[in-house]
Structure 1
């Protein structure tokens, strides 16, 4: 099955607003990291569960095609009913996966943070257990 991914200005604007305003995303705001936001026409599922979005680190070998450090993909068929508020919740969750550490020489090192209790706690405290759809 082929998948089409396209740059999405709407997701970029929502993501940029979150990074600029959210204290939990200050590590992104204060870094040199770049993020590319894509929409996908693929209705992704994993282990029988719907996947709404995901955050990936762009491999160095792929930066010629994707000039960014991180890629956030929104699986649009799975998010078709989401308004900007719900998309912002999803993007906030995905942005929490952006890992940025600084080594002893001041060089930023990037990684994708796994799901953990802190990530889900931030979402659940703000929007409840059904934060993605509620």
Structure 2
């Protein structure tokens, strides 16, 4: 992919720290500026790109992390990944990982979104926005046994990891027609894009986690 010049400082979009311009840099760094920008721009009503689909994330415990570069999985280069922070390991391993999170963020977040800093230095503003929002969409709100949005005992949305809205084979749709979910995607595709015509799903590590 051809590299573009880094976004201008006045664009308002967060840019990775200068050390990520060094191709030999291999550090991971917390990205509080991305969280601040995402809350002001996408998650808070009145923001320039506010999306009410993320209303359940207003008080979500999510943090962002810069990675020095992406990685290849299932033949695709991963540029971003959202994960629920869990520690399935022994006490010492868990202790080390919890300490690392606390050193980065001052606490252990519920969700972590990692972004490829080298890509974010070169991509367009629209590509950056699409990448961040794609990862945010992976944090959904659970539903109760009646299909209604679920909440914690404190009255906050109960969050979970979610996959794409539509997962179906083209051949099945061609032969048997669209399901209700697929039809909603078709109807949405017929309308002009609200922000930009772009597809970042193929570069999402969260989407590729289930690929063996």
Task: Decide which structure has the larger Cα Rg and report it.
Answer: 2
Alpha-carbon RMSD across the aligned residues, in angstroms, is 3.0
Q: Is the 8 A contact 1:18 1:88 kept in 2?
A: no
Matched, 1:98 2:139: yes
Q: Which has the higher strand share?
A: 1
What is the rounded CA distance, in whole Å, between the counterparts of 2:52 and 2:67 in structure 1?
Answer: 28
Aligned residues, how many? 126
Give the drift of 1:42: 2.7
Pairing 1:54-69 to 2, within 5 Å after superposition: 54-59=81-86, 63=98, 65-66=100-101, 67-69=108-110
Pairing 1:31-110 to 2, within 5 Å after superposition: 32-59=59-86, 63=98, 65-66=100-101, 67-101=108-142, 102=150, 108-110=157-159
What is the rounded CA distance, in whole Å, between the counterparts of 1:88 and 1:52 in structure 2?
Answer: 13
- 3-state SS of the aligned residue for 1:80? helix
Please list every run of at least 4 consecutive aligned residues from structure 1 whose deviation after the TM superposition is greater than 6 angstroms. Answer: none
What is the rounded CA distance, in whole Å, between the counterparts of 1:5 and 1:85 in structure 2?
Answer: 24
Pairing 1:5-44 to 2, within 5 Å after superposition: 5-16=28-39, 17-20=41-44, 21-29=50-58, 32-44=59-71
What is the aligned partner in structure 2 of residue 113 from structure 1? 162
TM-score normalised according to structure 2 size: 0.49
Q: Is the 8 A contact 1:14 1:88 kept in 2?
A: no
Gaps of 5+ in 1: none
Gaps of 5+ in 2: 1-25, 45-49, 88-93, 102-107, 143-149, 167-180, 201-212
TM-score normalised according to structure 1 size: 0.73
